[in-house]
Structure 1
């Protein structure tokens, strides 16, 4: 049975991808921090869960030890406070970089050598339109996602000779809990009013479509955006954020 590892699996895009992989016959290792959400996932046959702080390198290494992953989905991420970079404190900066970027690089380094040696595998990174276009009050978030985008595309070139594929998921305006701690409920509701947002299940469906392609095809990145409203960059209308 093929195996998959996914981070940030306790809600939104991560949970949707974990369930889609399980439904496709993968044995899924779902990593996250929300104990109740992990317990809910663990009730599903084919999904094993482990609670881990991704910033804890040794705990992360222990969590994935012995798992020969065919698919790795680096999905975990956090949204720092929506404010000018100069107003963020050092702890907020360090934590955001640790979760959005450093943890993804560390886990990839742990898992990908096995894929390379076996001559097959697929690595996904959940990026953002914010990694490809600037947004006010999101400098730190944009920086981490831009760095992840550059890493993903360079890694793809490193691994292509070994039959390992790499895909960046460039998502914009997905209805998830990402803004839960930085926006009040009424502002979050306004962002997603009128059905103008991609749903986590839509992203999961695209991931499965990419995985279904023959091994000689690699989708370097896919942009998944709401049909309405939309702009050339995938940015939301004036007054909202991606």
Structure 2
């Protein structure tokens, strides 16, 4: 049985991916910061791992001795929306630390074993904000653009060893990502048209992983049919 490590598995896209991969027959290690949320999806196929991905010693200790076949780098956060000229440096540092630096550090721990085995698959939850300009999201866009560049360069490093790398590029997905930074009216406006659901992304991930080892989906974009620009709905 192959083992998949999914970060940010307490809710949204990460939770949906963890459940979908368990259904597909993977042994899933579901990592996240909320013990109660992880307990809600624990099963014979899903092992919860309470973990803050920015805590490097804790991450290294948790992964020691584990053999990971699939790494889904999904953990992330959205800093407060607003003009970059008004942004707080602590919010900028946190956005880069969680969305980019921690991802590189975790990947560095996992990919040597994949290279040694000559197989593995690394996936990154990126964002449409990495590939098109949106107002009020400069720091988040920078971090996700870093993920996009890293995924492409990592593929160049690892593809000769039979390792696949996929960048997931979601548009507007109905998750809790904006829960703490947009008021109820702004969230209602953002989801006025049907948004992509976390399960939609999870089904795509399962399909990508099911391809034969000689086929690598390097990037897939998944957008709502009727898009909006949520970053313009800034909480006052």
TM-score category, normalised to shorter length: over 0.9
Checking the alignment, whether the CA contact within 8 Å between 2:13 and 2:201 is kept in structure 1 is yes
- Counterpart in the other structure of 1:105: 104
- Counterpart in the other structure of 2:197: 199
- The answer for unaligned runs of 5 or more in structure 2 is none
Distance 1:90 1:240, change over 3 A: closer
Alignment pair present for 1:19 and 2:19: yes
How many angstroms apart in 1 are the aligned matches of 2:165 and 2:137?
26
When the two structures are aligned, how many residues end up with a matched partner? 234
How many angstroms apart in 1 are the aligned matches of 2:95 and 2:231?
26
Alignment pair present for 1:210 and 2:208: yes
Checking the alignment, whether the CA contact within 8 Å between 2:8 and 2:32 is kept in structure 1 is yes
| Aligned Cα root-mean-square deviation (Å) | 1.5
CA shift, 1:33, in A, is: 0.7
- The answer for unaligned runs of 5 or more in structure 1 is none
* 1:1-242 equivalent positions in 2, closer than 5 A: 1-42=1-42, 44-195=43-194, 197-227=195-225, 229-230=226-227, 236=229
- Runs of 4+ in structure 1 displaced over 3 angstroms? 235-241
Deviations 1:164-205 (A, max 9, x none): 00000000000000001110122112211242x100000000
How many angstroms apart in 2 are the aligned matches of 1:131 and 1:103?
17
How many angstroms apart in 1 are the aligned matches of 2:132 and 2:60?
33
Task: Give me the TM-score of the superposition, normalised by structure 2.
Answer: 0.95
CA shift, 1:2, in A, is: 0.5
Distance 1:79 1:31, change over 3 A: same
Task: Give me the TM-score of the superposition, normalised by structure 1.
Answer: 0.93
Distance 1:125 1:22, change over 3 A: same
How many angstroms apart in 2 are the aligned matches of 1:238 and 1:50?
32
Checking the alignment, whether the CA contact within 8 Å between 2:2 and 2:69 is kept in structure 1 is yes
